[in-house]
Amino acid sequence: MKNNQVIVIGAGPAGLTAAYHLVKNGIKPIVLEQSDKVGGISRTEKYKGYHFDIGGHRFFTKVQEVQDLWYEVLENDFIKTPRMSRIYYQGKFFQYPLSAFDTLQKLGISESFMIIWSYLQAKRQPLPVEDNLEQWVTNRFGERLYKTFFKTYTEKVWGIPCNQIQAEWAAQRIKGLSVKTAVLNALIGKNDTKTLIKEFDYPRLGPGMMWERFTEKIEEAGGEVHMNTKVLGIEREGERINRVIAERDGNLIKFEAENFISSMPLNKLVQKMDPALPSHVVEAANGLKYRDFLIVSLIVDAPDLFPDNWIYIHSPEVKVGRIQNFKNWSAQMVPDSSKTCLGMEYFSNIGDSLWSKTDEELIALAKQELETLGLAKGAIVEDGVVIRQPKAYPVYDRDYRQHLDVIQDYVQKFENLQTTGRNGMHRYNNQDHSMLTALLAAKNLLGEKHDLWNVNTERSYHEDFTKEEWKQLASSEDDKDLTFVVSNKK
């Protein structure tokens, strides 16, 4: 392997992690990225000296190897950021994580009693089937709390009813949270759940700083990261990839290698295969769906608007789903201390009415909704910029698992291709999970044997483990323990 190149498609957290591990082991990969920035959805955008995150990315993990990698690459440019987020519902702000006293006061005794009663009913007589998100959440929180704090926001994010979202999504994203856990946290201050952490690491100039540093280290070690390079085709012979055809500056370029790691969306990977894959695989790829995302970043003439890192907007009267306050992630992201930079996040689909609005219309909408919510009373919005992110979130609809199984079964037949990352595996995960799959993919090229598709399936790879437990399992000589942590390692 040391004399052969590896092609890595995509310079997001997954692609760069794989490339970095390879250069540390003497292999010089070539990374192909179609955009002008590294980091994918975890990049940092910049506008007139302001830095802003695309979606908000905490650096928190219970996988020690990933955390060690973060500190190895970013070194002293991490800061500790206290977490504060709230839910906006019915004109009121609710603490999140839930506080028993805060929730009781704002919902009122009657509504709180009904929520508790509904929760007890769900425990006594749970729904017999948990196929979709509505059923899954109702069984764990009760129907009334589901309708109060889950339904509206979730449907705003995904654009489809909760009963059309697979329960697998809920199990993956909110597995560690329960009413019992929330009450214990509120009463005794205990907090050992990923969803409820109170402090996290954050690069002082945003998450893109991490991926820019990864890129520097890869290139310093002899690897290559090609920006503005769009993959047009992937040539194969049977079940072996031979080369990638890409375009840069109007020129076609051929990249040949012995092995390939891809983090590009699975549907695009299938569609770019030459010769084409069997029709049933192509049909399955065409059936995968994604939710797109846009953020309107507003520069506000006010030093302090609210203390939250971000606020979840459950209110149906506005379209905005979440609001980031970048100054509260890191003060260094806002160059003028007398100003505030807010990220108004909208979940959309390419081509719908929201996505089709002009930047000027979106900025006007964001300013109007900020005023409607009462978050910037008396403050002046001085400027704004719009960033659009296609394919931000893989959708877990009713048919996705059937489609994914078809693609997974076929792609795994390729002897020199591995897929990693959020879109590369059509899995709505966090950046540390994307990094873990990529790290294992790189290790596979170095002689180890990991099944990437089993990461985070048997048992939550970090939400159910403390760091101490993970260390004990990772050092165990019993391979059966390891299958719960990272892979089916043989």
Residue 446 token pair? 């170095």
The Cα 321–Cα 155 span in angstroms is 10
C-alpha dist (Å) from residue 426 to 105, 129, 265, 287, 488: 41, 25, 7, 12, 20
* Residues 197, 83 contacting (CB under 8 angstroms): yes
Report the relative pairing of strands 85-89 and 310-313 from DSSP bridges: parallel
Range(s) of the chain covered by CATH 3.50.50.60: 6-40+63-77+206-287+399-454
The Cα 278–Cα 328 span in angstroms is 50
How many CA atoms are closer than 13 Å to the CA of 244, on its beta-carbon side? Answer: 28
* Residues 295, 386 contacting (CB under 8 angstroms): yes
C-alpha dist (Å) from residue 123 to 98, 150, 179: 20, 18, 11
Name residues whose C-beta falls within 8 Å of residue 37's C-beta, 6 or more positions apart in sequence: 43, 45, 208, 227
pLDDT digits (tens, 9 = 90+) for 11-66: 999 999 999 999 999 999 999 999 999 999 999 999 999 999 988 888 988 888 99
- CATH architecture, range 6-40+63-77+206-287+399-454: 3-Layer(bba) Sandwich (3.50)
The DSSP 8-state label assigned to residue 166 in this structure reads B
For CA atoms 453, 457, 462, 465, give the dihedral sign.
negative
Strand, coil or helix: what is 390? Answer: strand
pLDDT digits (tens, 9 = 90+) for 160-196: 899 998 887 777 666 555 555 555 454 445 544 444 5
The Cα 9–Cα 371 span in angstroms is 42
User: So what's the pLDDT on residue 97?
Assistant: 65
Beta bridge partners of 419: 262
Strand, coil or helix: what is 237? Answer: strand
Strand, coil or helix: what is 249? Answer: coil
Cis status of the peptide bond prior to 13, with omega within 30 of 0: no
Beta bridge partners of 322: 312, 345
Residue 116 token pair? 């508790």
* Residues 43, 463 contacting (CB under 8 angstroms): no
Name residues whose C-beta falls within 8 Å of residue 191's C-beta, 6 or more positions apart in sequence: 97, 185, 197, 198
User: So what's the pLDDT on residue 171?
Assistant: 72
Residues of the chain with pLDDT under 50: 1-3, 184, 186-188, 191-195, 457-490
* Residues 182, 98 contacting (CB under 8 angstroms): yes
Instruction: Give the amino acid at 369.
Output: E
Instruction: Give the amino acid at 424.
Output: G
pLDDT digits (tens, 9 = 90+) for 304-319: 999 999 999 988 889 9
pLDDT digits (tens, 9 = 90+) for 274-312: 999 999 999 999 999 999 999 999 999 999 999 999 999
Instruction: Give the amino acid at 295.
Output: I
Q: Mean pLDDT in the chain?
A: 86
User: So what's the pLDDT on residue 487?
Assistant: 30
Strand, coil or helix: what is 341? Answer: strand
Residue 186 token pair? 């509120």
